[in-house]
Every structure is written in structure tokens, then in C-alpha cells.
Amino acid sequence: MRTFTKAIRDALAAETGIDASKLVIESPRDSKLGDFAFPCFVLAKTLKKAPPAIAGELEERVNARLDGIAAKATGPYLNFTVDRATLARGVIEEIDAAGDVYGESDEGADKTVVIDLSSPNIAKPMSVGHLRSTVIGAAIQRLHKRLGYRTVGINHIGDWGSQFGKLVAAVDRWGDTVDLDGDPIKSLLALYVRYHEEEANDPELVQAGRDAFKELESGEDGRVRATWRKLTELSLREFDKIYERLGVEFDLVRGEAFYEPFLDATVDRIVAANITEESEGALIVALDEFGDLPPCLLRKTDGTTLYATRDLAAVFHRWDEFKFHRCLYVVGGDQRLHFRQLKHVLTRMQLDWEPRMEHIDFGMLRLPGGKMSTREGRVVFLEDVLDRAAEEAQKIIAAKNPDLDASGEVAEQVGVGAVVFNDLKRERVKDIEFDWDEVLSFEGDTGPYVQYTHARLASIGRKAAAAGEGSGTPDWAALEDAAPILLAIGRYPDVLTAAARAAEPSQVTGFLIAFCREVNSWIAAARVLGQSEGVTGSRLRLVNASKSLIANALGILGLSAPQEM
């Protein structure tokens, strides 16, 4: 496909004198106008002519330079249409040759991208809120991997901080009232909620919590640390069940505690940069020069560290270890200020790699009643969402495809796919109100719709193989009515590049939905089997190419592509 756009650019460059790389080639508003468009407005000033006149003059001259591509002036645009047979053969041979890694590139060669994702908190259940960071981060990682980057996905577990003092205190006091080993997460949640209920009227409890965290941070390997270690292990085991269902793996699981040994050195490093000061008993980095921002606190009055200190320790450690090209923090938008502060600390330290640290923020997920709150017990558990979605898928399979083998497995793929896709389909920054009906919807702009399209294409492929059809010489010109599909396949590598750059998986979901709509329209109108040898041959090639593309994109998004459903 890039061979077509390159030919157009070169021809235009030769005629206009503008550098080929600076020419903007876009898609026409209406596909009937052509496959590519060149808006002539940019030339109006230098040539001192009206854009439509320029387009008209360019038409003939550019046509003389092009072979297999027709240029036609329409108003102020010069539109290009690739010969249908050339387009079909070019695109399909390209994707066939690339196979499963179609869209890969070498733009990331020798570059490392660190992705901080998921990062659930120990002792808290994973809510549908944590799903966002996990699936968005995993998709961003796969995108970069496809583009040739070395990627390091780090699960930055929230296993440190004053809340663990509270939790240890709560376990000490009421641990025997719950079934910690049998149902660890729910037990810990109950203790956590109870702590917050009682702390207001119980100064001793508050003190016990503080003391416990202080001991934890002191490095003393006593009972507090043993309790903390046990809580961590229990929680991680529970999280792994979810990660397995989501098909997410991490290169490194490093909790905040991992960076604990580096905290002092981190503070020293910042102090050595001469940007710290003591204020109200705390050690801070002032940030007023950046628009009156609140300061970044490194040490509390009691000497213990904060979230920001640990994140700074982490980013230094990551820089030292990976010299990353990008370090992406897939963390909710409620922490925008936090990351701005961190970046400004780096700026004040005059570290030139500061821009490589990026906060990949995403909108908040809210319940109809308001924000989710673990403390108040107002959460929707991710496990329940996945379970219900899989059950729903199972019901639909029972109704529509009762003979399906391994239907339980497929129901899991479809149910989880629906949940994951739903979370990836809109622009990251948009807030989401959780809605069961939407999550459990399998029609329209959904993961199951895409999976279904894939399954139907697979079905056609199976039938063709059984009938021994489709192996003849393809009649490429017969794919004229499939031009939108072919152009979309051709555009896919650019979609991946743009989506990775913007760290925006919704660009892939959006592409995929539009693609499947085109494919479904086409297969409703163009029967594959039982046509002349050339027609069946070319159509089957397109069916297989489309199926391959859908599986490819679903893989990047983290969804399965079942052959039947």
C-alpha cells in the first residue's frame, strides 16, 4: 500500500517542487471520489491561483507520471484511484507475505519502552477500575512490541505506604475474626473497611497503624514485616488468577517495596541537586515556578517517605537500568498533578530525559451512585464482571450454537473479550460510568461482534477447503467491490504506528470495528463459494486476509479470535 502512496507523493513532488515527505495525503470524504486525496490549498499562496484551478492543472501532468493510478481533480482536491486489480493483488500479497506479524516495523529497533501498568494495591480486590490500567497498558505494550521496540511491562504493585501499617494493625486486632487463608482478599477488605470505620474514635488504633508502618519502613524483620509479607503473597496469588483470564503477563512484578532500598539514595540525589528545602518540618521540592504548583514532598515530618519519593526512586532505577526511550505510566487521570510534580522535579534536576517520562492517563470509572470507593465498600469486583460476561456468552452459545465443542472455553473468550474491548473502545481520557447492560452487550460496537466476524470468515474458509474450492488463479479485478476493505488492510500498519505513538488503543478498536462493518457488508453481498474459479479464488484470498487481519488486531488488544462461537 505504501508503494501506492509513495508513487503519488513522488509524482506530486516532481510537479510541485514540494518535498515528498511534506505532502499531505489524506482519504477523500466519500470513498467514491477516490482512494487518496491531495488538498491543493497549500499551493494556492505560492502559485497565486485558486485551488480548483491548481487541481485541474495538476491532474493531467500528474497522470502522465503515474502508472496504474488515476488522478482526477474534484474541486480543490486532486483525488487518486488505484487500479482495482493492482490494489487487490498488492494489498493481499503484502499481508500474506507478512503473515501474523503484518504491521510490524523496525521503528523501535534498539529502543526500550518501559510500561508501568495495572499496579493494583495489595489487600484490595481488583475492581473494574484496575481493569483499565491493565488492559490499556497491556495493549500499549503489545503495540510497541509489534513496532520492534524492546518492551518492559512492570506491575508496580501498591505494597507499601502507611496503609500497610493500618492493615497490619487491623490484622493484629481482628485477624482471627476473618478467614484470611480461605478468602484473603475479601477478608482483608473487611478489615480495611473496619479500620476506617473505627479509627475516628480510637486513637490507639491510629497509633498502632503508624507504629507498624514506621517499623515496616525501618527495615526491621520482625512480626510486622512477616504479616506484610504474608498479605502480599496472598494478594498476588489472587491477582494472578485475573491476569491469567485477561491473558496479561508482566516482565517484572516490582512493588513499591522493591524500591525501598533505594529511597535514601534517591533523596540524597535530589538533595545533592540543591533543589530541596525544609518546610513545616517536611523535606520538599518547591514547584511554584511551574504555575504555583503545590510542592513535591519527599519526607514527612516523621521522616518516612511518600508515594512521590517511591515513584522518583522507581523512575531513577528504571532510567539507570534501561535508558528507556519512553517510560509510560498507565495510571488514572486523578493522578495528573502527581505526575506533573514528578516531571517538574526531574526538570529542576536538569535531567534531559524528563520528556521521556509520560503519564498515560485515563478517565475515571464511576458507578451510577458516584466514585468507587474501596473504603466504603462501594466497588464492582472485576472477577464478578468477568464471570457474568462469560455466563452471558454461554447462554447465547446455548441458544445459537448448541453443538459447539468446548463451548465453555469459547464463552470465556467471548465474555472476557466483551469486557476488555469495551474498556478499550473509547478514547482513554473519557470518564466511564459503569453500566452492566453495556458491558454485557454483544452486539454492535463490541468485542463479540469482531470475534463473530472472525468466526464467520473462518467458517467460509473451512467450507471452501471441504469443497476443494478457491485454489484457482485469482481474478483480482473481481474484488472491485471490496476496495474499502483492501484500503483498510493497507492502512493498518499506519494505524498501529499512530496508536503506539499516542498510546491510544482506541485507535485500534475504532479501526477494527469499521473494518468488520465493511467485511460484514461485503460478505453479505458477495458470495464466495460456487462462483467461477477466478472469482471464488480472489474472494477467498480476501476472506483469509481479512480473517488474518482481525486476529492480528484482536491479538494486540488482548482478545482471543475463536474459529467458532
Partner RNA sequence: GCGCCCGUAGCUCAGCUGGAUAGAGCGUUCGCCUCCGGAGCGAAAGGUCACAGGUUCGAAUCCUGUCGGGCGUACCA
* Residues 263 to 292 in contact with RNA, rule: CB under 7 A: 279-282, 284, 291-292
Q: How far is the CB of 292 from RNA (least distance, A)?
A: 6
Type of residue found at 405 = D
Q: Which residue has the cell 479464488?
A: 537
Type of residue found at 203 = P
The x, y and z cell numbers of residue 461, run together, are: 474458509
237 binds RNA (CB under 7 A): no
Q: How far is the CB of 319 from RNA (least distance, A)?
A: 21
CA distance 290 to 302: 28
Identify the burial level of 272 via C-beta atoms within 10 angstroms of its C-beta, where 0-12 means exposed, 13-18 middle and 19 or more buried. exposed
Which residue lies nearer to RNA by CB, 85 or 396? Answer: 396
Q: How far is the CB of 175 from RNA (least distance, A)?
A: 21
Binding mask 500-519 for RNA (x = CB under 7 A): ------xx--x--x--xx--
28 binds RNA (CB under 7 A): yes
Q: Residue from 14, 24, 406, 465 that binds RNA (CB under 7 A)? A: 24
Nearest to 117 by CA among 332, 292, 435: 332
214 binds RNA (CB under 7 A): no
Q: How far is the CB of 414 from RNA (least distance, A)?
A: 5
463 binds RNA (CB under 7 A): yes
Region 154-213 residues binding RNA, contact defined as CB under 7 A: 158, 160-163
Binding mask 294-333 for RNA (x = CB under 7 A): xx-x--xx--x-xx-------------------------x
Which residue lies nearer to RNA by CB, 74 or 86? Answer: 74
Which residue lies nearer to RNA by CB, 362 or 476? Answer: 362
41 binds RNA (CB under 7 A): yes
444 binds RNA (CB under 7 A): yes
Task: Classify strands 112-117 and 150-155 as parallel, antiparallel or unpaired.
Answer: parallel
336 binds RNA (CB under 7 A): yes
CA distance 5 to 154: 38
Q: Residue from 8, 37, 54, 360 that binds RNA (CB under 7 A)? A: 37
Region 364-383 residues binding RNA, contact defined as CB under 7 A: 364, 366, 370-371
Which residue lies nearer to RNA by CB, 3 or 279? Answer: 279
Write the DSSP string, 501-565: HHT-THHHHHHHHHHHHHHHHHHHHS--TTS-HHHHHHHHHHHHHHHHHHHHHHHHHT----S--
Contacts of 172 (CB under 8 A, 6+ apart): 208, 212, 227
Tell me, rounded to whole angstroms, the distance of Cα 113 from its chain centroid.
14
29 binds RNA (CB under 7 A): yes
CA distance 397 to 407: 7
- CB half-sphere exposure, 271, CA atoms < 13 A: 12
Q: How far is the CB of 483 from RNA (least distance, A)?
A: 14
What is the DSSP code (8-state) at residue 194?
H
552 binds RNA (CB under 7 A): no
Q: Residue from 448, 493, 505, 537 that binds RNA (CB under 7 A)? A: 448
337 binds RNA (CB under 7 A): yes
End-to-end CA distance of the chain: 33
Q: How far is the CB of 274 from RNA (least distance, A)?
A: 17
Which residue lies nearer to RNA by CB, 183 or 459? Answer: 459
Is residue 287 classed as helix, strand or coil in its secondary structure? Answer: strand
Are 159 and 257 in contact by the 8 Å Cβ rule? The answer is yes
The x, y and z cell numbers of residue 551, run together, are: 486476529
Beta bridge partner(s), residue 433: 366
Are 406 and 562 in contact by the 8 Å Cβ rule? The answer is no
CA distance 93 to 74: 31
Q: Residue from 56, 175, 363, 555 that binds RNA (CB under 7 A)? A: 363
Q: How far is the CB of 186 from RNA (least distance, A)?
A: 20
443 binds RNA (CB under 7 A): yes
Q: How far is the CB of 289 from RNA (least distance, A)?
A: 14
Region 60-99 residues binding RNA, contact defined as CB under 7 A: 74-77, 79
